[in-house]
Chain A
Amino acid sequence: AQSVTQLDSHVSVSEGTPVLLRCNYSSSYSPSLFWYVQHPNKGLQLLLKYTSAATLVKGINGFEAEFKKSETSFHLTKPSAHMSDAAEYFCVVSDYGSSNTGKLIFGQGTTLQVKP
């Protein structure tokens, strides 16, 4: 069965410092992995997607994530945090190899706080 574990429920950084949001996954098939962001009272926005084309995926707003199969990880990073990055971040896995094609499984979310 597929699963996603976000290792930190809350991350706090200072503006201008690097961001690291950690995600481990479990999948029986070749997974598609995503990071989504949800700002307060806003909808979900796709940051980036991994689908085996390249292990380092660049997304919007300066975010990127590296797929490491040996570690079953897909951590999200950004070199320099902005105040506007404060939001809830979800690591998501989609399983295309089972009967539940296209089903998304969400991690529990990481709240990113950015301090001035």
Chain B
Amino acid sequence: SAVISQKPSRDICQRGTSLTIQCQVDSQVTMMFWYRQQPGQSLTLIATANQGSEATYESGFVIDKFPISRPNLTFSTLTVSNMSPEDSSIYLCSVEISNGYTFGSGTRLTVV
């Protein structure tokens, strides 16, 4: 099954700045998924990233706020732009494997 390396694992950022999160998969995958887990909450899908096409965003999430890149079949980035304290969350990427979905270890973002 695929292994995902996600970084950074955590960061503390100033409001108004941007943070780019990277996910590297050790095998080629068609789709990569980005999730947000707000404090004490469940996971919510932000967008689905296919290589060679624009990401598909879920309701409530927009490309200007969460631009995504997918330059090849093993790598993707999610940028959290113009951050505010409300963006403080854990961000996770995910890919489908043979028996389910595997997740990166997450990026714990705190915006101050």
Contact = CB atoms under 8 A, between A and B. Distances in A.
Contacts of A44: 43, 92, 103
Interface string B74-99: 00000000000000000010101001
B38 to A, nearest CB: 12
What interface size band does chain B fall in?
A: 20 to 34
A77 B77 CA distance: 37
Contact of B104 (A34, A42, A43): A43
Contacts of A103: 33, 45, 48
Contact of A43 (B41, B45, B99, B105): B105
Contacts of B92: 43-44
A102 B42 contact: no
B42 A90 contact: yes
Given A34-B100, A34-B101, A43-B103, A102 B43 contact: no
B51 interface: no
B100 A46 contact: yes
Given A43-B106, A44-B92, A106 B101 contact: no
B94 A104 contact: yes
Contacts of B110: none
A46 B42 contact: no
Query: In which size bucket is the chain A interface?
Result: 10 to 19
Interface in B32-55: 33, 35, 41-45, 48
Nearest to B105: A43
Contacts of A107: 42
Given A90-B42, A106-B42, A106-B44, A46 B33 contact: no
Contact of B102 (A42, A46, A108): A46
Interface of B: 31, 33, 35, 41-45, 48, 92, 94, 96, 99-106
Nearest first, the 4 closest Cβ-Cβ pairs linking A and B are: A44-B103, A43-B105, A106-B42, A106-B43
Given A43-B104, A107-B42, 15 more contacts: A34-B101, A42-B105, A43-B92, A43-B105, A44-B43, A46-B101, A46-B102, A90-B43, A100-B48, A102-B48, A103-B33, A105-B45, A108-B42, A109-B41, A109-B42
